[in-house]
Amino acid sequence: MSEIKKLNLIEASLEEIENIVVNKLDCKKYVASQIFDFIHNKLEFDFDNFTNIKKDIRLKLPEYFEIPSIKCIKILESKDKETKKFLFSLNHKFLVETVLLMHDNRKTLCVSSQVGCALACDFCATGTMKFEKNLTAAEIVMQLYFVQKELRKTNEKVSNLVYMGMGEPFLNYDNVIKSINILNYEKGQNISKRNFTISTSGLAPQIEKLAEDEKQVHLAISLHAATDEVRNIIMPINKRYPLERLKESLIKYQELTKNRVSFEYILIKDFNIDGSAASSLVAFLKSFNAHVNLIPYNIVEGKPYETPSKKEATEFYNTLKRSKINVTLRETKGEDIAAACGQLKIKKEKEDIESNKENI
Ligand code: SF4
């Protein structure tokens, strides 16, 4: 006898749930709304706790529905309490990281969209891992649901989401957009689309597609260098979409959405922070309504790159300011908990290898 394909309750629409509730469970439509509310509002993922649904019906739910779960196996908090990092295990097989940033009374969750990353940016810890899989929309959503449930204990909540964790979100475009739509449900988390930012290494065709599909969603570009010569060294994707092509897509994006574009620029000592790097950046940004975040490099073990001094970072910042660029110099956050994307996963995998060796 073939098994019934269960409906994934994180990704299912209310209508899909209603269809099963009415036609298979022989219940009234409102039971579907109760199930939907347990999942997307009460953030309850155990059928046994769906307490206002009659017990005989509740016992039948697992026959038709499934709730993909992710297990949090580690939570680390930085000394300044502004950064919290969560390590999740998917199907007991894959590890992904999620970072909660708490500053300016705002809680922003940085979610992962892939396990590993194929783009191999040279400064990035995730770039050293092989690409393993795209996260499903449910796996992306569950990162937020877990953290939101934690924050509820102190009457707090995540207000903004950035797709800036592990992976290139535009290489998992459909699931990323689907996750945004789920989190935007009016009867669910109801997070405004304006509070989502997708961060990309610069995939020009998908930038143009986003501008067509989702005009409210914000865009951030991991730029890190404003000449092809330097960018090619640290970001291989630049050979496929050089700066001129990236610029063309961003101009189209701004024409269609009128959104300001954020640029992330990691400051690397003796690499991308001299006067000529600053001039190239100013020239590149001239075409846009832009804001630049300067982020001093967070050391990644095994990489040759170093963090610049505060003085060097400030000089670079001042040059941009003098050229009337909207710019913010960020502090390196959560160094003590390995906050740069991918570092915690690598640390955990190394610990597991070491403990396996000890157990042999
Ligand atoms: S910076 Fe982003 S795109 Fe580049 S390797 Fe790391 S995760 Fe992938």
- Give the CATH number, domain containing residue 21: 1.10.150.530
Q: Are residues 59 and 180 part of one domain? A: no
Q: Are residues 77 and 24 part of one domain? A: no
- What is the CA(58)–ligand 1 centre distance, in A? 43
In a domain, 29, yes or no: yes
Q: What is the pLDDT of residue 347?
A: 66
- What is the CA(28)–ligand 1 centre distance, in A? 47
Close Cβ partners of 139 (under 8 Å, ≥ 6 residues apart) = 68, 70, 90, 96
Q: Are residues 213 and 186 part of one domain? A: yes
Q: Are residues 315 and 195 part of one domain? A: yes
Pocket test for ligand 1, best of 99, 122, 123, 126 (most atoms within 8 A of CB): 126
The pLDDT tens digits of the residues spanning 179-231 come to: 999 999 999 999 999 999 999 999 999 999 999 999 999 999 999 999 999 99
The protein residue with its alpha carbon nearest to ligand 1, atom 5, reads 127
Task: Classify 288 as helix, strand or coil.
Answer: coil
Q: Are residues 100 and 23 part of one domain? A: no
- Binding-site residue numbers are 117, 121, 124, 167-168, 199, 222-224, 298
Host H or E run for residue 338: none
Which domain-ending residue is among 43, 66, 89?
Answer: 66
Q: Are residues 189 and 59 part of one domain? A: no
Which residues form ligand 1's pocket by a CB distance below 6 Å? 117, 119-121, 124, 126-127, 166-168, 201, 222, 341
In a domain, 359, yes or no: no
Cβ atoms of residues 237 and 230 within 8 Å: no
Which domain-ending residue is among 66, 90, 111?
Answer: 66
R_g over Cα of the chain: 22
Domain boundaries, position 24? 7-66
Q: Are residues 38 and 81 part of one domain? A: no
The pLDDT tens digits of the residues spanning 28-85 come to: 999 999 999 999 999 999 999 999 999 999 999 999 999 987 899 999 998 888 899 9
Confidence band (pLDDT; 50, 70, 90) for 342?
low
Closest CA to 294 of 276, 275, 318: 318
Q: Are residues 171 and 56 part of one domain? A: no
Which domain-ending residue is among 23, 49, 66?
Answer: 66
Q: Which atom of ligand 1 is nearest to the CA of 235?
A: 4
The protein residue with its alpha carbon nearest to ligand 1, atom 3, reads 168
DSSP state of 187: T
Name the region of 135 (left: φ>0; alpha: ψ -120 to 50; beta: rest): beta
Q: What is the pLDDT of residue 219?
A: 97
Is pLDDT of 336 > 70? no
The protein residue with its alpha carbon nearest to ligand 1, atom 4, reads 121
- Binding-site residue numbers for [4Fe-4S] cluster are 117, 121, 124
Is pLDDT of 360 > 50? no
Is pLDDT of 177 > 80? yes
In a domain, 84, yes or no: yes
Q: What is the pLDDT of residue 355?
A: 60
Backbone phi, psi, residue 186, to 5°: -60, -35
Tell me the CATH number at 294. Answer: 3.20.20.70
In a domain, 358, yes or no: no
When pLDDT is averaged across residues 166-189 and rounded to a whole number, the result is 97
Q: Are residues 74 and 61 part of one domain? A: no
Is pLDDT of 253 > 70? yes
Count of domains in the chain? 2
When pLDDT is averaged across residues 246-263 and rounded to a whole number, the result is 97
- What is the CA(115)–ligand 1 centre distance, in A? 11
Q: Which atom of ligand 1 is nearest to the CA of 168?
A: 3
Pocket test for ligand 1, best of 134, 201, 264, 298 (most atoms within 8 A of CB): 201
Confidence band (pLDDT; 50, 70, 90) for 318?
very high
